[in-house]
Structure 1
Amino acid sequence: MPEAGDPDRGPLRAAFSGLTTRGRSFLAAGAAAAVCAYLLGQEDLLRIGALLALLPLLCVVVLHRTRSRVTAARQLAPARVAAGSESRVRLRLENTARGVPTGLLMLQDRVPYVLGPRPRFVVDRIESGGRREVTYRVRSDLRGRYPLGPLQLRLTDPFGLVELNRSFTAFDVMTVLPKIEPLPATALGGDAAGFGEGGRRSPAITGEDDVIPRDYRHGDDVRRVHWRSTARRGSLMVRREEQPRQDRCTVLLDTRRRGYEQDGADPAFERAVSGAASAVAHLVERGYAVRLVTDTGAVLPGEDGEQPDPAEIGALVMDGLASVEHSDGMGFEGAREALLRRDPGLLLAFVGTVAKEPAAELAALRRGGAPAVAFVAAGQLDARLEQRRMERLEEGGWTVLAHHRDSSLAELWRTASRATLGR
């Protein structure tokens, strides 16, 4: 993290508000001694009064200067963690004042309550140009994006006469990813065209060329020049090698609030988010081109421009799932429009309860003979009612599995694999 915030550089007179009871008592005693010295004509008493009054004033000036010369930085390791894992936070303080050490420092870093109590530290004086580091750990079982900071600093002098506060402005964000359940290495179908076991074909390896030529680029092998197209276009054209086709998968996440409204503590929605994250992580590891679509039509990692590599896709989708929230939508119209813009390939849906009309919309999302599997967050309604709603999806060619609170996603994955490969 870069240097934290801008220091508080208020006028010097504002620093006098930091005088403690002891400091104010010293001022009052000094003033009283000075008055008595004047009335009694005692020079020694005047010197004592001056010392009592000047000591807190000197502490105010020194601390005010030191406060604006203390910088802070924060480092998270790592900044992205899975739910239930810890992240280590390191705070580094530096005294940039020349020739002036700090007094006693008391630190407090602001953290959300879900990450634990606010960490507090006491740091001894820091010499001019010196540094000090303190560390603490944060942990959350709930996914989300949590701000850490800003840091609050309190400085005191060795005599306890002055206390000055300093609040930095910079903060960092800790991303807690959804829980991921390891899935078995079984196929759910979905080759490069969206069907089958997932075998990749690469005509380039066997020497076959794409029939569509492209413009010559510096460094291209001249043996690949396509002379017929070159003569037709008047510029060098080369035969383009066909790239290996990549298996595709679309993970659909139902975020409709009404799909989980019967679930008071909301574990069903978190179960669906965790299931989607597990599927994305598993498929990215197996080399699939994965994208996440929600019922509103939101798409991750996006559809514009050049697509990132699989590792970046997984990171982008996970970051999106870390902060995904409920939508107020009624159906899956937004998802339908997003799926129409690109062949979804293998379609995996993690949904809540689905009424008649949304079930019809969801069933229509399956295109052609592509495998489609729906993991329904069951246990929110009467068992017979849930069964009837799941049957509506099955009539549309979906493989439908009940994702109960105590069910294992790995076992459901194996069941889905047997069902899709047996179709």
Structure 2
Amino acid sequence: MVSFSENRRDLLFIALLLVSVPIVAGLSVALRPVRVRVGRDFRPNLVSAGGQTTELLTVENVGVQPLSGVRWRETGPMGTTPMPRDLPLPPLSGLGGAWGRSGGWDGFGEGPDAAARTVRLEFPLAPHARGRYEYGPVVLARSDPFGLVMARWAVGGRHELVVTPRVTPLPGRGHASMLGGGEALERQRLLNQNSDELIAREYRPGDSLRRVNWPATARHGEIMVRQEEHRSDSGVRFVLDTLAPAESGAREVDRARRASAFELGVEVAASVCTHLLAAGYRVDVVELGPAQLGTARLGRASNGATAATDAAPLGATGLGGSPVAGNGAGGTAGSGDPVSYRGSGGISHLLEDLAGILQVPAEARDAGTGEPNGPLAPPRSRVPRGALPTFAVLGAGAALDLAVLAALAASARPAIAFVLEPVPTDASERLREAGWRCIPVRSAIALPEAWLDSVGGRGALHEPA
């Protein structure tokens, strides 16, 4: 208005310039949208807590125009490794090929093919706690040449990184003298040629002549070969306590101590079960709380998984058993059956399941819910029939179901409980009276010594041939 009233064209020009610059800046950003395709991968995609993995991002320009002047940052969960923020994205050529051929570029610096359509960005991640963490999307930002307007785009989906519990190596490869089975005994059975271990069947093309059973051939009048009649494979039961005592009126320090004890219990479970699986045993895991194991892998193909069958309610006679299980995890999530693990595939499935397991309030035991992370399956209230060597990790204190544990001990040969700090002395005494051998565990460092104590010292360990 002043410029019009006083005929000051210079002021009018400056005013129009100041108004038009932000408009032009906004148009320059709006008319140059970012069109990219983002891929994400972790190598390895299964990492132990405290370990390190590498996140690999692949950014491809799918627009016609070249892409330059863009900055990027990754989004991830709070409390993990700091994510790269506001880093420059190398220039990318468009589909028109204005900046040369298609190719790739590695790292954060200038590469020999920096103007390709695709760029690969790598950076390390070191999660310190177990869990399932979601990363993504990538946020791209571009500003106008004057830095007046900034536009951001969230591109790409989310990708889950599974962080498994730490596994403490335990001495020895098994204790066949104590459990009566495992890899060593199975090998002895295969090498044993006693008649009560063998059955004869008709010869089939491809059978070795060294397996011809001549007495059976003479009796039947046709060629018969020896076939090993395998006994039921050796199994171990592991009881996992996921219950938490009532938190009403509990101090913050008490809640922190219980949470720390639960994490130690998960590490004990991972270490002991991994050790037994590596020694050739099948491990049947029973949860005292609502069923969680296996639920995160619903919908995925299980490598040879079969459900544990012939089950009886907890507290009935004849607990324990030997379900048929494949090279992986068995049991239907939420069915009430124990989850069975076996072989190398069972180790990875077990650790993946333990990565996301939660401590739930004792009140959720019968309700089948485990807030705050949503509903869980009903409690696993059945275990297969038959006596099995049984290990347990217990840390719920007053929330322990001593009647259930007593029933388990009655069918366990032996029954060994790794007792954590929250379990009071009187509860430990009642467990001993029920037949459990209670071994205190206060830290992961003490776990190897506790394991030696559980198997009766070094003399009880048996190294498979």
- Aligned to 1:146, the other structure's residue is in SS state strand
Identity across aligned pairs (percent)? 25
More displaced, 121-130 or 199-208?
A: 199-208
Determine which of 50, 74, 81 is the counterpart of 1:84.
Answer: 50
How far residue 373 of structure 1 moved from its aligned partner, in angstroms, is 0.7
Q: What is the alpha-carbon root mean square deviation over aligned residues?
A: 4.1
SS across alignment from 2:449: helix
Cα gap change, 1:387 to 1:329, in 2 (>3 Å): closer
Who is 1:311 aligned against? 344
- Structure 1 residue aligned with 2:433, among 395, 398, 401? 395
2:71 is aligned to 106
Are 1:413 and 2:398 matched, yes or no? no
- The separation in 1 between residues aligned to 2:272 and 2:431, in whole angstroms, is 20
Which amino acid in 1 is paired with 2:265? Answer: A
- The 3-state SS of whatever aligns with 1:115 is coil
Is 1:264 matched up with 2:250? no
Letter in 2 for 1:281: T
**CA shift at 1:116, angstroms?**
3.3
Mapping for residues 329-368 of structure 1, pairs under 5 Å = 329=362, 337-338=382-383, 341-343=384-386, 345-355=388-398, 358-368=401-411
Number of the residue aligned with 1:126 = 92
**Relative to structure 1, is the Cα distance of residues 349 and 157 closer, same or farther in structure 2, using a 3 angstrom cutoff?**
same
Rounded to whole Å, the distance in 1 between the matches of 2:193 and 2:444 is 51
Counterpart position of 1:152? 139
Instruction: Tell me the distance in 2 between the aligned counterparts of 1:159 and 1:288.
Output: 67
Q: Output one character per residue of 1:68-118: Cα deviation in whole Å (capped at 9) or x when no partner.
A: 2x22222212221111122221222222334x2112111121111121333
Provide the secondary structure at the position in 2 that maps to 1:75. strand
In structure 2, runs of 5+ residues without a counterpart are 1-14, 95-101, 103-115, 295-301, 308-324, 329-341, 367-377, 461-465
Tell me how far 1:411 sits from its aligned partner: 1.2
Question: Residue 136 of structure 1 aligns to which amino acid in structure 2?
Answer: F
Q: Name the CA distance, whole Å, in 2 between partners of 1:275 and 1:254.
A: 11
Q: Closer, same or farther in 2 for the Cα pair 1:55/1:318, shift >3 Å?
A: closer
224 and 166 in structure 1: CA distance in 2 versus 1, 3 angstrom threshold: farther
1:291 corresponding residue in structure 2: 284
Counterpart in 2 of 1:174? 161
Code of the residue aligned with 2:191 in structure 1: it is: I
Does residue 136 in structure 1 map to residue 129 in structure 2?
Answer: no
Residues matched between the structures, number: 361
User: C-alpha distance in 2, partners of 1:110/1:240?
Assistant: 58
Point out the more displaced range, 202-211 or 248-257.
202-211
| 2:360 equivalent among 319, 327, 339 | 327
C-alpha change, 1:320 and 1:356, in structure 2 (3 Å) is closer
How many Å apart are 1:369 and its aligned residue?
A: 6.0
AA aligned to 2:59 is: L
* 1:159-238 paired onto structure 2 within 5 Å: 160=147, 163-185=150-172, 187-188=174-175, 194-195=179-180, 199-201=184-186, 202-208=188-194, 219-220=206-207
Deviates more, 1:143-152 or 1:177-186: 177-186
- Give the C-alpha shift of residue 329 in structure 1: 4.2
What amino acid does structure 2 have at the position aligned with 1:105? V
If each structure's helix is expressed as a fraction of its own residues, which one has the higher value? 1
Q: Is this contact kept in 2: 1:143–1:178, CA < 8 A? A: yes
Matches of 1:347 and 1:77, distance apart in 2 = 36
Rounded to whole Å, the distance in 1 between the matches of 2:356 and 2:402 is: 26
- Give the deviation of 1:328 after TM superposition: 3.7
SS of 1:173's equivalent in the other structure is: strand
Q: Which has the larger radius of gyration?
A: 1
Contact 1:190 1:198 in 2 (8 A): no
Alpha-carbon deviation of 1:138?
2.3
In terms of mean alpha carbon deviation, does 265-274 or 353-362 score higher?
353-362
CA deviations on 1:304-355 (whole Å, 9 max, x unpaired) are 27443511101111011110012344679955612xx254632110011444
**Secondary structure of 1:183's partner?**
coil
* CA distance in 2: counterparts of 1:254 and 1:197, whole angstroms: 25
**Per the alignment, do residues 72 and 395 of structure 1 end up closer, same or farther by CA in structure 2, a change over 3 Å counting?**
same
The superposition leaves residues 152-187 of structure 1 with CA deviations (integer Å, 9 ceiling, x where unpaired) of 112345565764432124111111111222212175
Q: Compared with structure 1, are the counterparts of its residues 260 and 159 closer, same or farther at alpha carbon in structure 2 (3 Å cutoff)?
A: closer
Asked if structure 1 preserves the Cα contact closer than 8 Å seen for 2:174 and 2:276, the reply is no
How does the TM-score come out when normalised to structure 1?
0.71
Q: Are residues 250 and 406 of structure 1, via their aligned partners in 2, closer, same or farther at CA, if it must alter by over 3 Å?
A: closer
Q: How does 1:66-77 map to 2 (within 5 A)?
A: 67-68=34-35, 70-77=36-43
- The residue aligned with 1:40 is none
